[in-house]
């Protein structure tokens, strides 16, 4: 008993240190949130920490202003559309290709797969200038589709890599018996492979969704009036101080979505990220 | 979506009597691969080749100029700054992130509530780097009233070196000369037995401390120099240089007694009514001055977003984001180390420090390398957070390769040739690191 107490006491500095670091890590995000609650006439002159001593300073007024701001609400809509399709397409297309690389026989299969994995090394900066020209030529510039297809393509090498490796682990007997029963490859893919691949698909989906939702560079390059939330906030930057009453709540809304996902799917999130550290 | 529709057709078609030939034998395979081939071909392979070719042409793409764009990359000031900054990023950030991740992971092994800590430190990873930049831009506001970083710093600075009682005061009459920086000196020499009147004005009412009382000139005493420092201002009246009814004394003001040579012989502070006295003063002429300490400004805040500190400021924000990643990956590696190896070392009499340095770190080496190299790659591509933390006025100083590429190609200059060259340069830097990482990752993790 005494020994336990002594040990606990000896660990007290460690607990304190870690608690301090934890608070330190929380403060910036909390600061943005509390700033977003300050009234417009307070936001440039009052520190957000004053809310602790004067809770009456906090109000949700600014969030109403953001929701009334058409540029910001339509940007949130665009972001959602781009993120949903920019996740669904590469996963579906990647699963098709991953299945082919895992279970269909064709000449040059391994070389082709290696080439696809090799595309992982291409930074998206390499595609910005040619795609800017191409999008302009085909009238795709400044559309959500342009963003969706760009994200789909750059999400694909990793999706194929991950799903192919996962599909290879599916027991061969399952596939053989389905083929003997006369099921078409498409049927096998839809009824067997996709359901069995769900754990890998879930990790991938969360990772890719966050990637597209959080994107700034691609949307900044290929959009002018079609803005995602990061770009819409960025266009308020011209007067950062004066527009903080819009910037702070909008930024907090934009980061609340990934945060909710993060808390809901922590396990998949970490797994996807561990696997994704090669990306 | 369109890919799904395209594959459904040929696959669902009824089997025909198998004709020989490559295309018909691999029809199904082709259908499965076609959508991916189109996306990868049009959006990655074609642009990559195009960008490489484009980098040897001028800004409009009409004239072949060989390596001129690459020469420009290493000579134009803005771009050289970008490369230099990126080298700084490479030298500092990956090592720090890996070290912090390692320390956190090791410390967490010893507490029960590690999950809560991990969630908190990992959380910034979920947030966009752009939004993380907004978060820190708010933290870095220069005014200590609104910027949390400067507010905390100010609390420390003002505790160590308290600001003067009156930072904005001016002399009320020409009897006082000098500057606030060197102290305000009474023009008239004073001798023991005299009373010095030191009137100040230009003081905002909130700067007068709450305990201040009606100013009162102390009576002169033999062998002593006495006096008063007061707020020589009555709204709508009052006589300059005289203590009027309602004028408050200024407490806590540093008063210096200087000898004829200008050296300070004694200092004292005023009381609640502004009065002060130097006892047992040597005979002869002296000067009385209000010390410069009184006029010291409070902490004004460090200009984090200014030209000189902007890069370290962005780095700090970036480390805040990525430390959680390093912690989680290294933590996973740590959990995989066989416990009996550590126990054996402890049984052999190794101290915790020795176990850490001689056993844990060498066993973790492969994981540490993966984290470090991943961070090298991330740092090479850093972009969003630079644009969201740095105000337009400091962006030239904060410049990095990816930002320089974007600004050259799309930020008004619209030089696609030079922009392509910068992209290729970035590509050449990233490729070997990524190949190394893929190899390590497949072998070790």
Between residues B238 and A254, the one the model is more confident about: A254
Residues B112 and B220 in one domain: no
Q: For A217, which of B48, B116, B384 is closest by C-beta distance?
A: B384
* Distance from C-alpha of A193 to C-alpha of A96, rounded to nearest angstrom: 10
Q: Give how many domains chain A has, as a whole number.
A: 1
- My answer on whether B264 and B318 are in the same domain is no
Which residue in A37, A110, A124, A277 has the most chain B C-beta atoms within 10 A of its own C-beta, making it the best mutation to test that interface?
A277
Strand partners, B255: B268, B290
Total count of domains within chain B: 2
| HSE toward the beta carbon, residue A211, CA cutoff 13 A | 29
A38 found inside a domain: no
Residues of A in contact with B428 (CB under 8 A): none
- Residue bearing tokens 């202003």: A65
Question: Which residue(s) pair with B379 in the sheet?
Answer: none
Instruction: Write down which residue in B295, B314, B343 finishes a domain.
Output: B295
- On whether residue A146 sits in a domain, the answer given is yes
Residue B50 lies in a domain: no
Chain A positions in Cβ-Cβ contact with residue B128 (cut-off 8 Å):
213-216, 230, 254-255, 258
Cβ–Cβ under 8 Å, residues B98 and B372 = yes
**CB contact burial B13-39 (16+ within 10 A = b; e otherwise):** eeeeeeeeeeeeebebbbbbbbbbebb
> Residue A70: inside a domain, yes or no?
yes
Confirm whether A45 is domain-assigned. no
Residue B48, domain member (yes or no): no
Do B99 and B181 fall within a single domain?
no
Looking at B295, B327, B356, the residue that finishes a domain is B295
Q: Is there a domain that residue B56 lies in?
A: no
* Mean pLDDT, residues A224-241 taken together: 92
* Rounded average pLDDT over B270-298: 85
* DSSP conformation class of A47: -
pLDDT band at A12 (very low <50, low <70, confident <90, very high): confident
Residue B287: band (very low, low, confident or very high) from pLDDT cuts 50, 70, 90:
confident
How many angstroms separate the CA of residue A67 from the nearest CA in chain B? 18
Tokens found for residue B425: 């340069």
d(CA B159, CA A47): 19
**Residues B422, B405 contacting (CB under 8 angstroms):** yes
B264/B293 Cα distance (integer angstroms): 14
- Contact (CB<8Å) A274/B381: no
pLDDT at A1: 54
Q: Tell me: do B280 and B312 sit in the same domain.
A: no
- Please state the rounded mean pLDDT for residues B318-344: 91
Distance CA(A112)–CA(A161), nearest Å, equals: 12
Which residue in A137, A157, A43, A147 sits closest to A93, CA to CA? A157
C-alpha to C-alpha distance for A69 and A75, rounded to whole angstroms? 10
Q: How close is the nearest chain B Cα to the Cα of A93, in Å?
A: 6
* DSSP-derived secondary structure letter, A44: T
- In angstroms, the Cα distances linking B9 to A92, A181, B6, B378 are 16, 21, 6, 42
- How far apart, in whole angstroms, are the C-alpha atoms of residue A116 and residue A124? 15
Give pLDDT tens digits for A86-114: 999 999 999 999 999 999 999 999 999 99
Closest to B32 (Cβ–Cβ): which among A104, A119, A215? A104
Tokens of A96: 């098709």
Chain B CA closest to residue A260: B126
Of A209, A203, A211, nearest to A265 by C-alpha is: A203
Q: What is the ipTM of this complex?
A: 0.92
State percent of chain B over pLDDT 70: 94
Residue with the two structure tokens 């589709």 = A145
A158 within domain boundaries: yes
User: Is B184 within 8 Å of B289 (Cβ atoms)?
Assistant: yes
Nearest CA distance, A119 vs chain B (angstrom): 8
Q: B299 touching A, CB under 8 A?
A: no
Any domain includes B55 = no
Confidence of residue B412 (pLDDT cuts 50, 70, 90): confident
Q: Apex CA B273: angle with CA B272 and CA B274, to 5°?
A: 90
Could B121 and A234 be called an inter-chain contact, meaning their C-beta atoms sit closer than 8 Å? no
In a domain, B2, yes or no: no
For residues A34 and A178, give the distance between their C-alpha atoms in angstroms, rounded to a whole number: 58
Residues from chain B that touch A8, judged by Cβ atoms under 8 A, are none
Decide if A96 and B1 are in contact by the 8 Å CB cutoff.
Answer: no
Angstrom distance (rounded) from CA A85 to CA A100:
22
Cβ neighbours around A112 below 10 Å, total: 16
Nearest-angstrom CA–CA distance, B353 and A262? 35
Task: In whole angstroms, give the CA distance from residue B132 to residue B387.
Answer: 11
Among the listed residues A237, A208, A247, the one whose alpha carbon sits nearest the alpha carbon of residue A82: A208
Residues B330, B247: one domain?
no
Quick check: helix, strand or coil at residue A116? Answer: helix
Tell me the per-residue pLDDT of B246-257, one tens digit each, with 9 for 90 and over: 888 888 888 888
CATH number of the domain bearing residue B378: 1.10.3720.10
Strand B170-171 versus strand B176-179 pairing type:
unpaired
CA distance, residue A107 to nearest chain B CA (Å):
10
Region B356-360 average pLDDT: 89
| Cβ atoms < 10 Å from Cβ of B4 | 14
Strand locations in B232-314 (E): 254-258, 264-269, 275-278, 287-290
Q: What is the CATH number of the domain that holds A270?
A: 1.10.3720.10
Chain B, residues 106-145, CB within 8 A of chain A, namely 107-108, 110-111, 116-117, 119-131, 134-139, 145
Contacts of B203 (CB under 8 A, 6+ apart): B166, B168, B169, B231, B233, B250
Least Cα distance to A62 among A78, A48, A52 occurs for: A48
Taking residue B373's Cβ as centre, other Cβ atoms within 10 Å add up to 22
Same domain as B433, residue B330: yes
CB A158 within 8 A of CB A279: yes
Q: Report the gap between the CA of B147 and the closest CA in chain A (Å).
A: 7
Does residue B347 sit in the same domain as residue B287?
A: no
Helix/strand/coil for B218: coil
Pairing mode of beta strands B195-201, B225-231? parallel
- B218 in reach of chain A (CB within 8 A): no
In angstroms, the separation between the Cα of residue B69 and the nearest Cα of chain A is 15
* pLDDT, mean of residues A116-128: 93
Residue A198's H or E segment, with its range, is: helix A198-213
Cβ separation of B441 and A17 shorter than 8 Å?
no
Flag whether A143 is in a domain: yes
- Give Cα separations from A208 to A154, A193, A215, A268, B132 (angstroms): 10, 20, 10, 12, 19
pLDDT, one tens digit per residue, over B38-69 is 999 999 999 999 999 999 999 988 999 999 99
Give the per-residue pLDDT at B72: 94
Selecting from A123, A132, A259 the residue whose C-beta is nearest the C-beta of B426 gives: A123
A127 half-sphere exposure, CB direction, 13 A CA radius: 25
B177 CB burial (10 A radius; 0-12, 13-18, 19+): exposed
The strand ranges marked E within B107-231 are 170-171, 176-179, 183-186, 195-201, 225-231
In a domain, B376, yes or no: yes
A26-35, A235-244, B382-391: segment of lowest average pLDDT = A235-244
Confirm whether pTM is higher than 0.90: no
Nearest CA in chain A to B100: A21
The answer to whether A230 touches A192, Cβ cutoff 8 Å, is no
In a domain? residue B43: no
Same domain flag for B282 and B332:
no
**Does residue A33 form part of some domain?**
no
Residue A43 located in a structural domain: no
CATH of the domain at B245: 2.60.40
The proportion of chain A whose per-residue pLDDT surpasses 90, expressed as a percent, equals 70
End position of a domain, from candidates B239, B270, B295? B295
Provide the domain limits for residue A106: 64-276
C-alpha A148, offset from chain centre: 13
Domain enclosing residue B387, as ranges: 68-153+304-444
The residue of chain B nearest to residue A95, with distances taken between CA atoms, is B32
């Amino acid at each position: 008993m005494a020994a336990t107490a002594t040990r606990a006491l000896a660990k007290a500095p460690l607990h304190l240190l870690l608690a301090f670091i934890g608070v330190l890590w929380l403060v910036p995000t909390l600061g943005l949130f509390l700033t977003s609650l300050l009234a417009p006439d307070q936001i440039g002159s009052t520190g957000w920490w004053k809310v602790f001593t004067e809770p009456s300073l906090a109000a949700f007024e600014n969030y109403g202003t953001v929701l009334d701001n058409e540029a910001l609400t339509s940007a949130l809509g665009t972001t959602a559309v781009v993120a949903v399709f920019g996740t669904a397409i590469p996963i579906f297309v990647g699963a098709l290709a991953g299945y082919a690389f895992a279970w269909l026989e064709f000449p040059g299969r391994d070389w082709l797969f290696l080439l696809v994995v090799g595309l992982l090394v291409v930074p998206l900066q390499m595609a910005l200038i040619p795609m800017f020209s191409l999008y302009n030529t085909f009238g795709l510039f400044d559309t959500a589709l342009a963003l969706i297809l760009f994200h789909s393509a750059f999400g694909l090498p990793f999706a194929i890599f991950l799903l192919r490796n996962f599909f290879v682990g599916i027991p061969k007997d399952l596939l053989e018996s389905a083929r003997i029963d006369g099921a078409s490859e498409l049927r096998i893919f839809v009824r067997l492979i996709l359901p069995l691949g769900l754990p890998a698909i879930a990790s991938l989906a969360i990772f890719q969704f966050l990637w597209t939702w959080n994107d700034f560079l691609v949307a900044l390059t290929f959009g002018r009036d079609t803005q995602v939330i990061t770009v819409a906030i960025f266009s308020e930057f011209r007067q950062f101080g004066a527009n903080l009453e819009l910037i702070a709540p909008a930024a907090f809304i934009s980061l609340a979505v990934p945060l909710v996902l993060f808390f809901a799917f922590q396990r998949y999130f970490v797994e996807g990220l561990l696997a994704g550290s090669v990306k | 979506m369109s890919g799904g529709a395209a594959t459904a057709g040929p696959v669902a078609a009824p089997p025909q009597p198998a004709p020989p030939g490559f295309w018909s034998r691999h029809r199904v395979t082709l259908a499965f691969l076609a959508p991916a081939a189109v996306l990868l071909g049009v959006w990655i392979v074609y642009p990559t080749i195009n960008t490489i070719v484009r980098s040897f042409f001028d800004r409009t793409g009409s004239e072949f100029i060989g390596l001129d764009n690459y020469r420009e990359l290493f000579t134009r000031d803005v771009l050289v700054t970008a490369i230099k900054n990126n080298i700084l990023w490479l030298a500092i950030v990956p090592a720090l992130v890996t070290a912090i991740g390692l320390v956190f992971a090791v410390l967490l092994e010893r507490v029960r509530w590690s999950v809560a800590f991990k969630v908190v430190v990992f959380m910034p990873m979920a947030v966009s780097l752009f939004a993380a930049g907004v978060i820190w831009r708010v933290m870095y506001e220069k005014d200590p009233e609104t910027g949390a970083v400067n507010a905390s710093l100010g609390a420390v600075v003002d505790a160590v070196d308290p600001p003067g009682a009156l930072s904005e005061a001016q002399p009320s009459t020409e009897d006082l000369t000098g500057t606030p920086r060197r102290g305000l000196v009474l023009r008239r020499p004073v001798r023991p037995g005299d009373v010095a009147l030191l009137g100040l004005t230009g003081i905002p009412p909130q700067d007068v401390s709450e305990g201040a009382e009606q100013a009162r000139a102390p009576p002169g005493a033999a062998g002593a120099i006495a006096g008063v420092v007061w707020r020589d201002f009555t709204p709508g009246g009052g006589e300059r240089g005289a203590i009027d009814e309602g004028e408050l004394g200024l407490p806590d003001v540093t008063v210096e007694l200087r000898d004829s040579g200008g050296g300070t012989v004694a200092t004292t502070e005023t009381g609640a009514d502004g009065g002060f006295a130097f006892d047992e003063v040597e005979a002869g002429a002296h000067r009385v001055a209000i010390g410069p300490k009184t006029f010291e400004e409070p902490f004004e805040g460090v200009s984090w977003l200014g030209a000189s500190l902007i890069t370290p400021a962005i780095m700090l924000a970036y480390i805040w984001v990525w430390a959680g990643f390093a912690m989680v990956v290294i933590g996973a590696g740590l959990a995989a180390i066989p416990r009996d190896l550590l126990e054996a070392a402890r049984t052999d009499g190794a101290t915790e420090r020795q176990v850490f340095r001689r056993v844990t770190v060498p066993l973790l080496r492969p994981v540490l390398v993966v984290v470090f190299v991943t961070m090298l790659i991330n740092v090479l591509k850093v972009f969003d957070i630079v644009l969201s933390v740095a105000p337009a006025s400091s962006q030239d100083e904060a410049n990095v390769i990816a930002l320089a590429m974007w600004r050259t190609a799309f930020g008004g200059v619209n030089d696609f040739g030079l922009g392509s060259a910068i992209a290729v340069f970035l590509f050449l830097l990233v490729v070997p690191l990524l190949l190394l990482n893929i190899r390590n990752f497949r072998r070790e993790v």
